Amino acid sequence: MHIASVLIRRILNAAGLLAAVLILCFTLIHLAPGDPAEVIAGEMGGATEEMMAEIRALYGLDRPFHVQLLSYLGNVAQGDLGYSFYFNQPVTDLIVERLGATLLLVISALLLAIFLGTFLGVVAARNPNGLISHFVTVLALFGYAAPVFWTAIILLILFASVIPIFPASGGMYDITGPDDPISRALDIAHHMVLPVITLSTIYLAFYSRLARASMLDVLGSDYIRTARAKGLAEVVVVYKHALRNAVLPVVTFAGLQFAQLMSGAVLVEAVYSWPGLGTLAFESLLRRDTPTLLGILFFSSMVVIIANLLTDIAYRLIDPRIRSGAR
């Protein structure tokens, strides 16, 4: 199949998916007990009946359900994700800022996990009974078995209080610090260390194991034997020929797991006060801020779809054998 037609099909498919996500989630949130008027009244320390009615009228919450749903979908189709009940701001503005923070966290964690994981996996595969191989096994088990928020809390107490080398208040940067671009960038890097390490532990474990297994597989295959027989240097054999094939399953999983990575981000962001989509999603769910929550689901679904698409492309680039649209 030609790449363009694959793309068009993918885009149509994605639009359908996004619509389904919005309709289902809109309905679910609508069914949940309580509405934004109650949240706003609660934060105000109470309200009169008239004020509640006024708030509902202001945000169109007094209309029948299907009218609300249709008008929402209509607006989304025109590129308008609506207005946050709670923050009195356009949802798109709210999200775009946070999306950057989450992507920074998630992509850094993913890259760290993939590179370090593959490296450890490959080293382990070259010597299956060596020290590093055992280390990879232990690391893999630990990363998988410890609850991520638990790791986060322990790392935070350890490295912000017991040995205070990272910022305790969390967040992405210290607003009271100098604001020239270089200091700010360094500050962000400093704030990122703990959350990125925490988030990557789960996947580091996973990728190192995956890389080790597929590397073992590839190293035992015929064409590697051929390469060796041709007298190529071992480093070239391992890192040029074998790695290329061993990395395929890693890349596939990276794409598929993006949604789960976003899930992990909710927990990690909660512990480190990282100002990302996870925190915003949690808060808007607690406040029944439907437009914001739907906006986040919309964006994160889109991110996942794009990640899957990129995975496909990456897969095609790495593995020249796959040229058709067959999965």
Partner 1 sequence: MSDAAREFEQELRVESPAREAWRMFISNNSAIVGLAIFTLIILTTFVGPLVYTVDPFELVWAPLTPPGEEGWLLGTDYLGRDLVAGLLIGGQSTLAVGAAAAVITITIGITVGALAGYYRGWVDEALMRVTEFFQVLPPLLLAMVLVMLFEPSLTTIAFAIGIVSWTSAARLTRAEFMRIRELEYVKAARSISASNARIIWRVILPNAAPPLIVSAALSVGTAILFEAGLSFLGLSDANVMSWGKLIGDNRPAILAAWWPVTFPGVAIFLTVLAVSLIGDGLNDALNPKLRRR
Partner 2 sequence: MTSFIKFARATTAAALALGMAWQAQAAEPKKGGTLTLLTSQVPRHFNPAVQSGTATGRPGTQIFATLLRFDEGWEPQPYLAESWSWSDDNLSMTVKLRAGARFHDGHPITSKDVRFSIETVKANHPFKTMFGAVASVETPDDLTAVIKLSQTHPALELAMSSALLPIIPEHVYSKLEEGQTAKNHPMNATPVGSGPFKFVEYKQGEYIVLERNDDYFLPGLPYLDRIVYKIVRDSSQRVITMEQGEADFYTEVESINIRRLQKAENLVVSDHGGEAIGPITWLAFNTKRAPFDNPKVRQAIAYAVDRNFIIKALQRGVSKAATGPIAPSSPYYTPDVETYDLDLDKAKALLDEAGLKPDGDGIRFAASIDYLPALPEQQKNIAEYLKPQLKKIGIDVTVRNAPDFPTWAKRVSGHDFDMTMDLVFNWGDPVIGVHRTYICDNIVKGVIWSNTQQYCNPKVDETLTMAGKEPDLAKRKALYAEFQKTVAQDLPIYWLDIVPYTNVHSKKLVNPPLGIWADMHPLDKVGFAE
Residue 263 binds which one of partner 1, partner 2, none, with CB within 5 to 8 A depending on kind? partner 1
Residues 6 or more apart from 130 whose CB is under 8 A from it?
A: 124
Residue 279 binds which one of partner 2, partner 1, none, with CB within 5 to 8 A depending on kind? partner 2
Q: Phi/psi class of residue 46: alpha, beta or left (left: φ > 0; alpha: ψ in -120 to 50)?
A: left
Q: Measured between alpha carbons, how far is residue 220 from residues 49, 209, 226, 303 in Å?
A: 74, 17, 11, 37
Exactly one of 116, 171, 188, 253 binds partner 2 (CB under 8 A); which one?
A: 171
**Is residue 49 at the binding interface for partner 2, with CB under 8 A as the rule?**
yes
Let me know: does 69 contact 29? Beta carbons within 8 Å: no
d(CA 239, CA 243): 5
**Is residue 40 at the binding interface for partner 2, with CB under 8 A as the rule?**
yes
Q: Is the dihedral of CA 131, 144, 202, 122 positive or negative?
A: positive
**Is residue 96 at the binding interface for partner 2, with CB under 8 A as the rule?**
no
Let me know: does 155 contact 139? Beta carbons within 8 Å: no
Minimal distance in Å, beta carbon 120 to partner 2? 31
The amino acid sitting at 58 is L
Total interface residues for partner 2 by CB under 8 A: 54
Residues 6 or more apart from 98 whose CB is under 8 A from it?
A: 275, 276, 277, 279, 280
Q: Phi/psi class of residue 288: alpha, beta or left (left: φ > 0; alpha: ψ in -120 to 50)?
A: left
Minimal distance in Å, beta carbon 97 to partner 2? 7
| Interface positions with partner 1 (CB under 8 A) | 13, 16-17, 20-21, 24-25, 28-29, 31-32, 137, 141-142, 144-150, 153, 157, 256, 259-260, 262-264, 266-267, 270, 281-282, 285, 296-297, 300-301, 304-305
Footprint of partner 2 on 51-70 (CB under 8 A): 51-52, 54-55, 58
Let me know: does 134 contact 128? Beta carbons within 8 Å: no
d(CA 188, CA 279): 18
Exactly one of 5, 13, 71, 89 binds partner 2 (CB under 8 A); which one?
A: 89
Footprint of partner 2 on 144-163 (CB under 8 A): 153, 156-157, 160-161
Which 8-state DSSP code applies to residue 127? Answer: S
**Is residue 180 at the binding interface for partner 2, with CB under 8 A as the rule?**
no
Q: In this chain, which stretch among 137-145, 174-182, 241-249, 260-268 interacts with partner 2, using CB under 8 A?
A: 174-182
d(CA 215, CA 246): 5
Minimal distance in Å, beta carbon 286 to partner 1? 9
Residues that bind partner 2 (CB under 8 A): 32-36, 38-49, 51-52, 54-55, 58, 86-89, 94, 97, 153, 156-157, 160-161, 164, 167-172, 174-176, 270-271, 273, 275, 279-280, 283, 285-288
